[in-house]
Structures are given as structure tokens and as C-alpha cells.
Structure 1
């Protein structure tokens, strides 16, 4: 009876185009929302780093320790009634579902997208976006059950991994510093420090240079934007960065 039940579950997953959740090997993923980068570890070593897009609001993309619970090729976009594989599909060509906030890979995921210019920004309703070619590579590597750590931190990938209980080998790859990620209230990291230093030099008080985009930094950005006839929204995107000389 148990064998029959397991077979039925496997058939159900195959029909859905997904892979059932079994234990993964020695690999894990870290997603750092402070710089919108994803680090892929294999055999306890950082192997690849990718730029990603995360939630429009800091609370949209959940933080914590999760697992990849399903893998789907060309998932349909049910909300818009767009079939999988369509160039109009905002979910791209690969879906790596996460068991976040009581869901089972149906709501939150690492996936591709049909808007490459959004990668690196705070743009989604909660999912983690990647370039289609890059999520294809990741999809080919990770197994169902692979741990995923999502955090907002000014630390390196290796430091985050160690703090999360992983023993890792020292990284030898160069982690890119993104200058295209959108900065806004809730952002953290080296780019925020650069922003605060630049604003302070220009006479806009951020009340400290701590790498945390809080209320004071938000107010300083808005004052600067108003003075430069930019859109006053507190969001440091390409136009504001260009005016500040950050790109």
C-alpha cells in the first residue's frame, strides 16, 4: 500500500512538471538582499555569484532558511493566463520553488524573467529574479532539497555561510560589486555607505555613515532629488546615481 501511495505521488509531480522533494547533496545557496546577489556553493566552496532582483519592499522577499522543494521548466503564469515558454511569461524558463512562509514552492521561487533590465533591482512581488540563461545554469546544478539562505547583510558570502553553521573553504572567485542595483529604504551594504558619504560631502546629512538606508538617509535623498529636479521618491536608481556621480 505504501509503495502504491509513493508511486501515485511521483506521478502527480511528473504531471505538474515538477520534481519531488528528496534530500540534496553538499550544496547550498545564499541570497543577500543588501546587494541583490546570489551565491551558489558546491562542495563547501563558493562557485558562482549572480545578480538578482528581489522584492519592491524589504518585506516582500522573505528572509530565513528555506529549501528548494520543486523544479519546473517553463512554468505557466497562471495569474495572467500566459503559457509556459511564452516570451511574455514573466516567470522566464526555469522555476526553483521555495518552501517559504508556509507555501510549498507555489508562491516564492528563484526564477527567470522576461525583463532583463530588472535584474539587480528591488522589483518583484517577493520572488528572486535571474537572467534566463543564468537560472538555466543554476537549475542544472541544484537538486530538490538544496538549502537556501535569504538575508540582508553587509557581510561576505563566506561570513554569512559560517554564521549559518556551514564550514566553507575560502572563496577564490571575485565577487562583483554591483553599481546598478536600486537603493532604497531598507537597503544595506557598501553601496549605501558610498551613497551616505557622497550625500554628506554634498551637504545632505544622513546622520551617520553606517551602510543602513534608514529614515535619515531617505530624507537626505529626497532633499537632494528635489534640489536637482529629479523624481522625489527616495529611491536611488540610475538617474539619481548618475546625478550623484555613482555611475
Structure 2
């Protein structure tokens, strides 16, 4: 009888025991609403820190311990009837759904956005917004079931991690990455994140670049010239300080 009881208790422990945080392989995400930053940890080390946008009101973005329960590329914006991949889509190019407030990755998520100027502010209905280029990188790193901690705290990311049962190593902070605000002149032949940002802004303003691919080609140059002409700027197709200012680029 004693052996049966011990076997039964072992079975119960296997069913109900919640493994500690380290069982997830030391990969997790922390989002701190006090400064609107997201930290990505891998192998219990802080890898990258990003600027994000969170809820317009403190209650909009839920706080607690959650998990990434689904991953979607180019998710449609159903309420606006906007297909995935469309430049008008406010969900951007990647969706990391969270099981927050009894939902299953369909309501709350870490996702991209078609308005780069909103990143860093209190702007959303509850989701966590990132630059498209950065959420694409994060999407490629994390897997389903990656833990996500959302909080409002004055503590460092490492302190938040420790308070939630994670033993971390290395520095407590890293420079926050983001779409660079530079004085670089953009022109035909260039590639990269700033060109994609330019294409997104032009498209949103009604000047089609025939795609948002990060390549400053003939279509982007033509869109820039049309914008410059409309704003009574020198229509040379080169995006310098004056054109950037008119576009609202930082």
C-alpha cells in the first residue's frame, strides 16, 4: 500500500508541478511599460533591447506572465478589411500572439506597425508595437511558448527577470535599438531600413512606391519627385533634410 501511495504522489507531482523559468532554456521577453522598452533574453543573457509602443491607457496593455502562443506573417487587419502585407495594414509584417486575459493570441500581440512615428509612445489599444524591421528579427528568434513578462517598473531588466524566477548573467542593460534618426541623404540605388521607412511614409501619404522592399529604385524616385513637386521643393528625387522634414522623418 505504501508503494502504491508513493507512486501515486509521484504521478501527481509530474502532472501538477510547474517547472521553473530556467526550464524554458533561458529564453524570454520582458516588456516594461514605464519606459516602453522590450528586452529579449536568450540563454539567460540579455541580447537586445528595443523601443516599443504600448496602450493609450495604463490598463490597455495587460500586465503579468504570458506566453507566445502563435506566430503569423502578414496577418490581415480584419476589422479594417485590410489584407496582410498591405502598406495600410497597422499590424505590420509580423505577429507574435500572447495568451493574455483569456485570449489565445488573437487579441494581444507583439507586432509591427505601419506608423514608425508611433513607436515609443502610449498609442495602442493594448498590443505592443515594434518597428517592422525589428519585430521581423524578433520573430525569427523566438518560438511558440516563449515566456513574456509585461510590467510597469523602475527596476532594471535583470532585476525584473530575477523577481520572476530567472537567473540571468551579464550586463543589466544594452543600448536601445531603433530605426536610426540620421542625416543620411537617401537617393536612388540605396537599400536598407531607412529606405523602407521612406517607402512606407510615401505610400501612406498616397505616393506609391510600388512596394516596400527597402530598395530605392525608379518607382521610389518617382514617388519622391511627385511629393517634392507637391510641396514645392526641388524635385530631384533625392531625400535630403528639407524633404525629410516635409515627410515627417526624424
* TM-score normalised to structure 1 length: 0.61
In 2, distance between residues paired with 1:139 and 1:25? 17
In 2, distance between residues paired with 1:94 and 1:177? 18
**1:25 CA drift (Å):** 3.9
Residues 27 and 146 of structure 2 are in contact (CA less than 8 Å); yes or no, is this contact kept in structure 1? yes
In 2, distance between residues paired with 1:172 and 1:41? 11
Residues 24 and 146 of structure 2 are in contact (CA less than 8 Å); yes or no, is this contact kept in structure 1? yes
* Equivalence map 1:49-198=2 (5 Å): 49-171=49-171, 174-176=174-176
The size of the alignment, in residue pairs, is 156
Superposed CA deviations along residues 6-58 of structure 1, whole A, max 9, x for unmatched, are: xxxxxxxxxxxxxxxxx954300000000000000000000000000000000
In 2, distance between residues paired with 1:38 and 1:47? 11
In 1, distance between residues paired with 2:177 and 2:41? 19
**1:176 CA drift (Å):** 3.8
CA RMSD of aligned residues (A): 1.7
In 2, distance between residues paired with 1:175 and 1:165? 24
In 1, distance between residues paired with 2:32 and 2:128? 11
Distance 1:173 1:62, change over 3 A: closer
**1:171 CA drift (Å):** 1.6
Q: Which consecutive unaligned segments of at least 5 residues does structure 2 have?
A: 1-22, 179-250
In 2, distance between residues paired with 1:31 and 1:174? 14
Residues 158 and 172 of structure 2 are in contact (CA less than 8 Å); yes or no, is this contact kept in structure 1? no
Residues 48 and 174 of structure 2 are in contact (CA less than 8 Å); yes or no, is this contact kept in structure 1? no
In 2, distance between residues paired with 1:132 and 1:159? 28
In 2, distance between residues paired with 1:68 and 1:75? 15
- 4+ long deviations beyond 6 Å: none
* TM-score normalised to structure 2 length: 0.60
Q: Is 1:39 the counterpart of 2:39 in the alignment? A: yes
Helix, strand or coil at the partner of 1:158: helix
Residues 75 and 93 of structure 1 are in contact (CA less than 8 Å); yes or no, is this contact kept in structure 2? yes
1:205 corresponds to which residue?
Answer: none
Distance 1:39 1:81, change over 3 A: same
